[in-house]
A = this chain, B = another copy of it.
Amino acid sequence: MSVHMSPEEFRRHGKQVVDWIADYLACVESYPVMSQVKPGEIRRALPSGPPERGEPFEAVLSDLGRVLMPGVTHWQHPSFFGYFPSNASGPAILGDLLSSGLGVQGMSWVTSPACTELETLVVDWLAELLALPARFRTDAAGGGVIQDSASSASLVALLAALHRAGDGRVADEGVTRRYTLYVSSQTHSSLEKAARIAGLGSVGVRAVRVDPRTLAMDPGHLRTLLAEDAAAGAVPTMVCATVGTTSTTAVDPVAAIGEVCREHGVWLHVDAAYAGVAALCPELRWLNDGVAEYADSYVTNPHKWLLTNFDCTVLWTADRAPLLGALSILPEYLKNTATSVGSVIDYRDWQVPLGRRFRALKLWTVLRWYGAEGLRAHIRKGVELAQELASWIAAEPGFEVREPHPLGLVCFRPVWQELDAADADRATMRLMELLNTSGSMYLTHTRVDGRVELRMAIGGVATERRHVERAWEQIRWEHAALSRTLPGDPEH
């Protein structure tokens, strides 16, 4: 007897799992948003060793519900407002399922031509939807590729930039000079991580000043740093401009930064991980001002706000040659006619790993199910709800809202009149903890200029106006309750 799950068994259990997920999605609101377990609790509830004999699939599903679910923080809960949205829509889940079912490995064109060609197609489609420049297409010198995360994509961009800055010698000779990367205090930490991984070290990461109000990078200071570093013998390699920072969705002035990059011949990478997909809407396309003229590479994450479940990052470059120069290695066991003739794309040379899933399927199912129209409606709804929330907070005595907040994220804090800065920050963190442990909403925090702010990111598939209203109601209520226990309160 075969040990494998037969196609008929798969059919049966597959439908059980689909029912399980449909039920989950239908009642996700009934769970506490944030898992309430203590460290070690889940692990201790499971057998310490692996089973010697196979078990029925139903046993797994039962343990999933009974043991694992209390340890799940529900990112698809309509009242999940933490980090950024990590949308898992129906069509995306099914696209991913098709990818798993086909089980192809798309490292080279020849290992499944459809995997490569659909990927090129959907990243071109997305570039068109976002009005990204023609230079980013494969039929020009550029091209797009799906990666697992913006972290990996930014690392790949840095490697391409190093290849160019080092006149093609870094892949062979290594990092033998002082190559430098330019970010701001608001740039995502993955850029420093990339610099570490690529051998530049944190010392190679130069921090450009930001405008204290908008938190956008100061192009004048960038110019100064680049000139200083070049004069000191460093090789300025890449500038990372961010469109929609993780902390507050600040937008760096890409055009002005690009002008400086051009003066110095430095690679301009644009990290639009969260905000980039908003360019689907013409009224938000200003976000990408300067990208068409100046960007050497650009990254955005359909797996955040664009309804395509993790992992699906798209990286585009205007020049694929340095990227291939940095990453291409062809051992004998991967040689094949199509690759030798050079008539095809082998995406393994556009990324860190060798193997690849058929991830284009889920982006394809999303783009087709929603159409441009449906995608725009989703983005607009998130922006509208966030703007409403911001107006409520701004109108509320005792709270202040951070400007600007052009997208789905609102940063704000209670004023805590009677407390000094450190105590006020502690009180804000305490408020967040009370809200999160209540289980009825989830939000995260950041620090700007040393001071704590709360972040409320709107844009989940299931999030409706009533969830935002209820969250704000609860914030005000918990804030009032907490205020009464603080030293400055007359009743304390």
Contact = CB atoms under 8 A, between A and B. Distances in A.
A265 to B, nearest CB: 21
Given A17-B98, A75-B112, A152-B353, 14 more contacts: A3-B378, A4-B378, A13-B94, A15-B18, A35-B114, A49-B128, A54-B371, A76-B103, A93-B103, A96-B96, A196-B329, A197-B197, A311-B357, A337-B433
Main DSSP-derived SS at the A contact region? helix
A22 interface: yes
A255 B112 CA distance: 39
Interface in A341-361: 343-344, 352-357, 361
Contacts of A461: 4
A332 to B, nearest CB: 4
Contacts of A213: none
A424 B309 CA distance: 49
Given A198-B198, A332-B447, A455-B333, A100 B93 contact: yes
Interface stretch (A81-89, A224-232, A384-392): A81-89
Nearest to A159: B197
A73 interface: yes
A103 B311 CA distance: 10
B54 A373 contact: yes
Interface stretch (A55-63, A288-296, A413-421, A468-476): A55-63
B113 A39 contact: yes
A398 interface: no
Contacts of A141: none
Counting chain B CB atoms within 10 Å of each CB, the highest count among A5, A72, A343 belongs to A5
25 contacts: A4-B461, A5-B89, A17-B98, A18-B18, A20-B101, A39-B109, A39-B344, A42-B117, A51-B367, A52-B372, A54-B370, A57-B365, A60-B369, A71-B113, A71-B118, A72-B112, A74-B104, A75-B103, A82-B111, A88-B103, A149-B354, A170-B196, A311-B357, A337-B433, A352-B352
